[in-house]
A = this chain, B = another copy of it.
């Protein structure tokens, strides 16, 4: 993994490929690399769909190795949704395969003149780019099927669905999982629209004949990986809860805590929660011959993923994640698990961020377009998106645009991006992250739920403003670093509670690269990444006024705790004072 692949999609005479060493970007991976490139090379004032934007797709520092949990892939660009910098990452196979093929990043640059669709095939022999208009407006599932027929089943795919082709602001980029299904998405911020603007429908990766990346010190690396894996297996969250019930274990927990946003953030508890909880979901999966415990990429030891079959026992979709179940579920007042699973499938196939979609549908419900609880109406709305009808394009442009078009006042977004599955009034730490992360409302950017609710890494009372700034700051710094390693963020539960697991993670990096990275270096890396991202946003015209929740969170208390968001503006402005 010593080279960077640039593809100028706007070159005269067709796409032009350049392969070069890392150069200035040496030592960076994942989010650290994508944010460095975007911050340095993309003009902050450019239109996100213009030739000046770049889509940077980067495995992490440890991707493609034998290290556990190293399968995340980062996608960075100027976001069409937020207008700021974006890093969105996904699981699945592409990260490992791309890293083994030796590429530290693929950068899609420029913009073709016409509207031809391109597919890019990369294997050990090089890069082949061809137009393939037979792929036009295909769903991700059909696209991958066609790629299997053409290139065999030893591949991994990175693709967009119709949403990305239509350049919708909620468009995701799909990555195939271990079963070669397009179920793992870089969902947030419209990265799929940027891929669509480059005319690239699918990137097919084949690492046949290429071996795993080799550490500098194989023995010590193996030892570190063993300790690391054991650490993950013994922690309650990563060793029990996530494997058994997946991320959707959180439904009952958040509902109990009164922080489960219901009916477009009007209430903090949903009466139908138990019908769509992780426990219910896992039981259904088992009963129907699905899989409740499953790895989204090879090398995962947490295995929070799963396979969801329909009533007849046929594959319907991957196990829908907590945020997906929430967005299409409680947020919209829907408690029918099968219909939520159908929406998950449609989102994956059309290539849409499930959070943005669910929240946009909830906002449409608030506008009176359909009733809260109308599952069939919600499914129909997603189908409209796939068809590109005007109504579909509105919803597919995300919650903020949906609110603007329908004249809705209560729109839960920050920097134009829809808020995820945790009420920032009942869990004030996550509110600080929503408000201040350079990414727009994003739970993964500094997952305060860990400490506010799950009591991982200590405890900070979720209902009070005290301590939330420090909590969010530290989590945002740690996350920016972890997102650069290619490791799944879920390792954070174990490394926050278990010093030896944290040390093992450092040892994995150090024994692989021959470094002597310390905890302080992790913090420094995280700060460096955040600083680049904040700097980009500032140059794009963001100020502290964009580091705020919508005003209604300060004025409308959420039951059952009847709290408003209490963290002061001047304290929010201290998150990045370090």
Residues on A lying within 8 angstroms of B by beta carbon are 43-47, 49-50, 52, 80, 166-169, 193, 196-197, 389-391, 393-394, 397, 401, 404-409, 411, 539-546, 548, 550-552
| CB pair A47 B409 closer than 8 Å | yes
Nearest CB in chain B to that of A196: its residue? B407
Query: Of B193, B197, B409, which is within 8 A of A50 by CB?
Result: B409
In the assembled complex, 8 residue pairs joining A and B whose CB atoms fall closer than 8 Å, in A order, are A45-B545, A46-B551, A50-B552, A80-B404, A168-B407, A397-B404, A539-B545, A543-B543
* Given known contacts A45-B545, A47-B551, A543-B543, A397 and B393 CB-to-CB distance under 8 angstroms: no
| CB pair B406 A393 closer than 8 Å | yes
| CB pair B49 A407 closer than 8 Å | yes
How many copies of this kind of chain does the complex include? 2
Contacts A47-B411, A393-B394 known; list 5 others, CB within 8 Å: A45-B545, A46-B551, A394-B394, A397-B404, A401-B405
**B residues near A411, Cβ cutoff 8 Å:** 47
The dominant DSSP class at the A interface is loop
| CB pair A541 B545 closer than 8 Å | yes
**B residues near A541, Cβ cutoff 8 Å:** 542-546
| CB pair A47 B552 closer than 8 Å | yes
**B residues near A406, Cβ cutoff 8 Å:** 393
A248 to chain B, nearest CB (A): 32
**B residues near A168, Cβ cutoff 8 Å:** 407
| CB pair A167 B394 closer than 8 Å | no
Nearest CB in chain B to that of A44: its residue? B545
Nearest CB in chain B to that of A43: its residue? B551
Nearest CB in chain B to that of A410: its residue? B47
Alpha-carbon separation in the docked complex, A459 to B49 (Å): 39
**B residues near A196, Cβ cutoff 8 Å:** 407
Alpha-carbon separation in the docked complex, A50 to B552 (Å): 9
Alpha-carbon separation in the docked complex, A542 to B167 (Å): 27
A11 to chain B, nearest CB (A): 17
Query: Of B389, B397, B407, B540, which is within 8 A of A545 by CB?
Result: B540
**B residues near A169, Cβ cutoff 8 Å:** 404
Alpha-carbon separation in the docked complex, A540 to B552 (Å): 16
**B residues near A197, Cβ cutoff 8 Å:** 407, 409
Query: Of B43, B390, B393, B550, which is within 8 A of A389 by CB?
Result: B390
- List 3 tightest A-B contacts by C-beta distance, closest first: A541-B545, A167-B407, A390-B391
Alpha-carbon separation in the docked complex, A388 to B397 (Å): 18
Nearest CB in chain B to that of A384: its residue? B390
**B residues near A407, Cβ cutoff 8 Å:** 49, 166-168, 193, 196-197
**B residues near A539, Cβ cutoff 8 Å:** 545
